[in-house]
């Protein structure tokens, strides 16, 4: 349970009454940290620490085992790491302890800044008359060469694809949405041509479905050159 004085002296991202029943609260400089977890029917509870930042970023440091060194995970990545069978629903699958009970993130105040950042991004795009759309993309496995489809309809999905592209050793077993191996069949070529473009189902890439950088698919806390250049241009 949170220490009330600690919350009062912290950065006050949230009201003290919203946090004082939560387990593992630690108020730092510019973030709030709480204990969180995700339950797998096969592996049980994976325990971790969630940090909430005012810019909407969510970072999880996993503590599922004493030797686990997974940190700065997105909630979606933590959900996959925990072995959760029904992935892609991290807002409901990742939980915190409030008053001794497991409560999904979606039913807490902890997503306040995440949701605000998402709305801000959407408002910015609408004010510019831009309807941001990202077509499906494929990432190839380093071991078998098979390409796996990634949807890019949300910021979380864009981040998962972004991280997969940055991983030079990405393989089929790293696929975040389903438990697959290199033995799993690849999509047929006739199916791959359908990438989700709203203008043409079999579009090979146009201004309607190819994004060259937006707040949905670029990340201010990423150090890759693409994200750094985008962030610098936005600030300029």
Helix (H) or strand (E) holding 59: strand 58-62
Question: Average per-residue pLDDT in the chain?
Answer: 83
Residue in the block written with tokens 């309807």: 131
> CA 236, CA 230: separation in Å to the nearest integer?
10
> CA 213, CA 230: separation in Å to the nearest integer?
7
- Position 2 pLDDT exceeds 70: no
Task: Reduce the DSSP state of residue 47 to 3 states and report it.
Answer: strand
> CA 233, CA 225: separation in Å to the nearest integer?
12
Band of the pLDDT at 129, cuts 50, 70, 90? low
Tokens for 73?
A: 């995970």
Out of 5-9, 119-123, 163-167, pick the least confident. Answer: 5-9
Instruction: Mention every residue, 6+ apart, whose C-beta is less than 8 A from residue 223.
Output: none
Question: Over the stretch 15-26, which tens digit does the pLDDT of each residue have?
Answer: 888 888 899 999
Task: Reduce the DSSP state of residue 162 to 3 states and report it.
Answer: helix
Q: Would you state the pLDDT for residue 105?
A: 94
DSSP 5: H
DSSP 186: P
- Going 163 to 111 to 47 to 40, the CA torsion angle's sign is negative
Q: Would you state the pLDDT for residue 121?
A: 58
Q: Would you state the pLDDT for residue 225?
A: 80
> CA 153, CA 157: separation in Å to the nearest integer?
6
Q: Would you state the pLDDT for residue 48?
A: 95
Q: How many CA atoms are closer than 13 Å to the CA of 167, on its beta-carbon side?
A: 17
> Best-predicted range by mean pLDDT among 59-63, 132-136, 232-236?
59-63
CB burial of 101-136 (b: ≥16 within 10 Å; e: otherwise) equals eeeebeebbbbebbeebbeebeeeeeeeeeebbbbb
- Position 5 pLDDT exceeds 50: no
Residue 9, number of CB atoms within 10 A of its CB = 10
> CA 142, CA 137: separation in Å to the nearest integer?
16
Q: How many CA atoms are closer than 13 Å to the CA of 192, on its beta-carbon side?
A: 12
């Amino acid at each position: 349970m949170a220490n009330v004085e600690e919350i009062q002296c912290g950065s006050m991202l949230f009201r003290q009454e919203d946090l004082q029943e939560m387990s593992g609260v630690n108020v730092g400089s510019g973030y709030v940290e709480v204990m969180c977890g995700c339950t797998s029917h096969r592996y049980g509870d994976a325990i971790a620490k969630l940090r909430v930042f005012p810019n909407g970023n969510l970072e999880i440091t996993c503590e599922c085992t004493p030797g686990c060194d997974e940190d700065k995970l997105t909630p979606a990545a933590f959900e996959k790491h925990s072995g959760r069978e029904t992935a892609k629903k991290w807002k409901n699958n990742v939980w915190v302890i409030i008053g001794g009970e497991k409560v999904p993130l979606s039913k807490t105040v902890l997503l306040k800044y995440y949701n605000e950042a998402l709305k801000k991004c959407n408002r910015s795009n609408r004010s510019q008359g831009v309807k941001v759309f990202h077509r499906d993309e494929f990432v190839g496995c380093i071991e078998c060469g098979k390409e796996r489809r990634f949807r890019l309809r949300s910021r979380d999905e864009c981040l998962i694809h972004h991280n997969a592209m940055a991983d030079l050793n990405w393989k089929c077993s790293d696929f975040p949405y389903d438990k697959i191996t290199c033995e799993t069949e690849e999509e047929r070529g006739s199916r791959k041509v359908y990438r989700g473009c709203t203008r043409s189902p079999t579009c090979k890439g146009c201004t309607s479905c190819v994004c060259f950088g937006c707040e949905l698919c670029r990340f201010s806390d990423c150090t890759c050159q693409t994200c750094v250049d985008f962030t610098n241009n936005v600030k300029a």
